[in-house]
């Protein structure tokens, strides 16, 4: 009997130890840490994930593992890690390139969900368990484009040529790494209508060259130059807009000869030079009509058109009697008008003319009066002097007579 107990006791001890081992190896798990290096990424960045956990199970009759899943905002599968079935405490790091996901980001933001997944299966009972222990939401965004325009002016004159060099680069890093051989859509908008459209390809430096002729590519007024990089997965298709205002050229009228004061008998001599600048070059306003008007106290007294020569010079002489000289008038306003054309804006030049109304007869009369006055004074002085001399002479003769009588 004792021998039976001796045999049964070790068996019981072995069974108890086996049960204890099974209890120790029973399925259990614990997520210790789960994180990413940031919560927002550019589409060309890499996601760095760190996780640590504890996993226990009986690998003789159970299957269990840990796995990382990445899904989009609609829970569509994008990526998963390997299956980690190590028993005990474990830590793992992952570095994942977002570009490998081939995301189609139509808007500027794309949401990804990184999930910590656990799976369990019991071989004998066929029972299964799976669950997401934690989820991290991250945002994937496209990079922003910057554009530098060399040669840009926000206001030009009609007829000018605008030569632009557009350089595209990253807003944050200031590099052109992703802008080589990229398609740039270029539009010109005027009054909400597209008046010009063309595609360009960037060179190795992310640069395109554009030459705009204001007469053919632009309109008078406010124009919008619109740039956008198209078919680029890394950068937004956002538009970069510049404004260019096109104005008519401002004509210049220089006065080469003009006397603002005339005598009554003199003619009005006037010499003007008309020109403008375009593309930093001098251009004469040649063979162009100028309207000359003369006003006497706001009353038009003379009007005539004249034409400039090939050098843009107008030289004229207007007889004084042509603009109805009034004896009572003192001043005239001379207005020179240049009417606008396709290239030129209106221009008006005002000159002021003063007339010396002194009459030659009056001058002569004045001179005669002065001479008469001078002569009269001179005669009076001569008479007075003669009187004094005669008076002295009479006295001297009387004294001489008295002396002779005494003797």
Q: What is the pLDDT along the chain (407 residues), one digit of tens a residue?
A: 444 444 454 444 444 434 434 444 589 999 999 999 999 999 889 999 999 999 999 999 999 999 999 999 889 999 999 999 999 999 999 999 999 988 877 666 789 999 999 999 999 999 999 999 999 999 999 888 899 999 999 999 998 999 999 999 988 877 777 788 899 999 999 999 999 999 999 999 999 999 999 989 999 999 999 999 888 788 887 789 999 999 999 999 999 999 888 877 788 899 999 999 887 788 999 999 999 999 988 888 899 999 999 999 999 998 888 776 665 556 889 999 998 888 898 999 999 988 776 544 454 566 666 676 777 777 887 787 777 776 666 655 555 455 455 55
Give the three-state DSSP class for 290: strand
DSSP 8-class letter at 383: H
Residue with tokens 């590519």: 217
> Rounded to an integer, what distance in angstroms lies between the CA atom of residue 218 and that of residue 227?
16
**Phi, psi (rounded to 5 degrees) for 333:** -110, 125
Give the three-state DSSP class for 104: coil
pLDDT score, position 394:
60
pLDDT score, position 150:
95
**Alpha-carbon torsion 323, 325, 326, 329, what sign?**
positive
Assigned token pair, 270: 């006037």
pLDDT score, position 304:
93
Exposure on the CB side of residue 155, measured as CA atoms within 13 A: 3
- Per DSSP, what are the bridge partners of residue 224? 189, 243
Assigned token pair, 304: 């005539």
CA-to-CA dists, residue 261 to 134, 270, 322, 357, angstroms: 97, 12, 16, 10
Q: Left, alpha or beta for 151 (phi > 0: left; psi -120 to 50: alpha)?
A: left
What does the buried/exposed string (b/e) look like for 360-378 if buried means 16 or more CB atoms within 10 Å of the residue's CB?
eeeeeeeeeeeeeeeeeee
CA-to-CA dists, residue 177 to 42, 46, 98, 202, 229, angstroms: 15, 17, 17, 12, 14
Residues 6+ apart with CB under 8 A from 391: none
Instruction: Give this prediction's pTM.
Output: 0.65
pLDDT score, position 5:
47
> Rounded to an integer, what distance in angstroms lies between the CA atom of residue 8 and that of residue 17?
14
Residues 6+ apart with CB under 8 A from 374: none
62-72 and 77-80: which strand pairing? antiparallel
Total residue count of the chain as it appears in this document: 407
pLDDT score, position 285:
92
Q: Do residues 355 and 262 touch, judged by C-beta distance below 8 A?
A: yes
Q: Do residues 208 and 234 touch, judged by C-beta distance below 8 A?
A: no
pLDDT score, position 406:
53
pLDDT score, position 256:
94
Q: Do residues 32 and 114 touch, judged by C-beta distance below 8 A?
A: no
> Rounded to an integer, what distance in angstroms lies between the CA atom of residue 104 and that of residue 138?
16
Beta-sheet strands, E only, within 159-311? 161-170, 183-190, 193-201, 207-213, 221-230, 240-247, 252-258, 261-263, 268-278, 281-284, 289-296, 299-307
Side by side, the strands of the sheet bearing 88-97 are: 28-36, 46-56, 88-97
Radius of gyration of the chain (CA): 54
Give the three-state DSSP class for 90: strand
């Amino acid at each position: 009997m004792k021998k039976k107990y001796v045999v049964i006791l070790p068996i019981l001890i072995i069974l108890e130890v086996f049960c204890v081992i099974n209890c120790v190896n029973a399925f259990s798990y614990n997520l210790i840490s789960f994180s990413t290096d940031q919560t927002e990424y550019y589409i060309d960045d890499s996601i760095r994930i760190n996780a640590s956990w504890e996993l226990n199970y009986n690998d003789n009759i159970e299957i269990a593992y840990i796995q990382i899943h990445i899904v989009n905002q609609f829970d569509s599968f994008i990526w998963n890690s390997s299956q980690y079935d190590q028993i005990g405490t474990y830590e793992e790091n992952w570095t994942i390139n977002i570009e490998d996901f081939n995301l189609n980001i139509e808007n500027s933001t794309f949401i990804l969900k990184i999930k910590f997944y656990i799976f369990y299966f019991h071989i004998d009972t066929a029972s299964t368990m799976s669950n997401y222990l934690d989820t991290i939401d991250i945002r994937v965004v496209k990079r922003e484009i910057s554009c530098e325009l060399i040669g840009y002016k926000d206001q030009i004159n009609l007829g000018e040529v605008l030569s632009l060099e557009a350089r595209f680069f990253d807003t944050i890093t200031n590099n052109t790494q992703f802008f080589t051989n990229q398609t740039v859509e270029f539009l010109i908008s005027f009054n909400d209508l597209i008046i010009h459209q063309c595609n360009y390809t960037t060179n190795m430096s992310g640069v395109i060259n554009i030459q705009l002729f204001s007469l053919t590519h632009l309109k008078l007024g406010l124009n919008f130059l619109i740039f956008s990089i198209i078919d680029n997965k890394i950068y937004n298709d956002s538009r970069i807009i510049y404004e260019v205002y096109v104005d008519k050229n401002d004509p210049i009228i220089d006065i080469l000869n003009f006397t603002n004061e005339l005598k009554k008998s003199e003619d009005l001599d006037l010499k003007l030079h008309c020109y403008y600048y375009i593309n930093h070059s001098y251009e004469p306003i040649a063979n162009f009509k100028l309207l000359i008007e003369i006003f006497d106290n706001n009353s038009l007294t003379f009007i005539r058109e004249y034409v400039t020569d090939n050098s843009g010079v107008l030289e004229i002489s207007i007889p004084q009697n042509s603009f109805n000289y009034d004896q009572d008038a003192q001043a005239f306003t001379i207005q020179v008008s240049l009417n606008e054309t396709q290239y030129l804006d209106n221009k008006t030049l005002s000159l002021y003319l003063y007339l010396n109304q002194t009459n030659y007869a009056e001058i002569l009369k004045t001179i005669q009066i002065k001479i008469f006055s001078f002569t009269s004074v001179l005669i009076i002085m001569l008479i007075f002097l003669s009187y004094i001399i005669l008076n002295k002479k009479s006295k001297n003769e009387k004294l001489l007579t008295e002396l002779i009588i005494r003797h």
